[in-house]
Amino acid sequence: MITINFYEIQNKYNKKVVFIRVEPKNINKTLQDIISKLYDLSWIEKFDQGFKKASLYARVKPTVDSIEKKLRLSIDDKITKDAGEYIVSELSRLAIKKELNYNCPPLSELYSKQISGNAGFDYHAESGENILIFGEAKYLTGKNAYGTGLKQVISFIAEKKDIKDIEDLENFFDIATLNNAIFGKKGYAVGFSSQSTNTKTLINNITKNKEYNELLKYDEIVLIAVDI
């Protein structure tokens, strides 16, 4: 994955808004790399209690197997919708980690209580200012998917899915960060598939979006365009 653009977007509320644009160097290699990272479960060994490790291993393994099957369907073939969403999720997570140096645990589906089809946010990150970022990813074939992603985030907020996610995040983030989120000090990330639209036009269109402007009341927004 290479970073094409990194911008801070100015806004009337003086909130931190970052736009990152990335692209995989080779889609097949990217798929293989994602699969390899999924099977690297060394992060579980960081937990002290044996019962937590045992529980996570039991939960993660079937989820990884399920995701791999979806990704394998796209290797040497057209990207499927399921695979596209995982690619956008993982590259968005990695872009936040690389460009912002935030604490980014694995994709939430790996440690959430469901085996697959996580009904909450796709990934999470923690800034150095104890801001919890709730991330969503959207993939649409041949389209810029930022509109769909922004609408999904607004919908999730209305359903309090960000707050519901917090129970699964205690093992990964500082308690102060989790408490901040409960009391409204939080941010959101939207990773989305993007096409040939130039970056200036893309940012201009996003800043006119109704849902984007609704999100400006929160502490931070991260937008990640993934060119696939």
The domain limits of the chain are 2-227
- Let me know the angle formed at the C-alpha of 18 by 145 and 104, rounded to the nearest 5 degrees: 85
Q: Of 108-112, 155-159, 169-173, which gets the smallest average pLDDT?
A: 108-112
Q: Is 165 exposed, middle or buried (0-12, 13-18, 19+ CB in 10 A)?
A: buried
Residue 180 CA to residue 187 CA, distance in Å, equals 10
Residue burial 87-97, b: 16+ Cβ < 10 Å; e: rest: bbbbbbbbbbe
- Residues counted in the chain: 228
What is the distance, to the nearest Å, from the Cα of residue 102 to the centroid of all Cα atoms in its chain?
12
Residue 118 has which token pair?
A: 């996580």
More confident call, 3 vs 54: 3
The residue with tokens 């999470």 is 124
Read off the pLDDT of residues 8-44 as tens digits, 9 standing for 90 and up.
Answer: 999 989 999 999 999 987 777 777 887 777 777 777 7
Is residue 58 within 8 Å of residue 110, measured between CB atoms? Answer: no
pLDDT at residue 173 greater than cutoff 90? yes
DSSP assigned state of 174? -
Read off the pLDDT of residues 53-86 as tens digits, 9 standing for 90 and up.
Answer: 787 777 777 777 877 777 677 655 567 777 888 8
Is residue 120 within 8 Å of residue 114, measured between CB atoms? Answer: no
pTM exceeds 0.75? yes
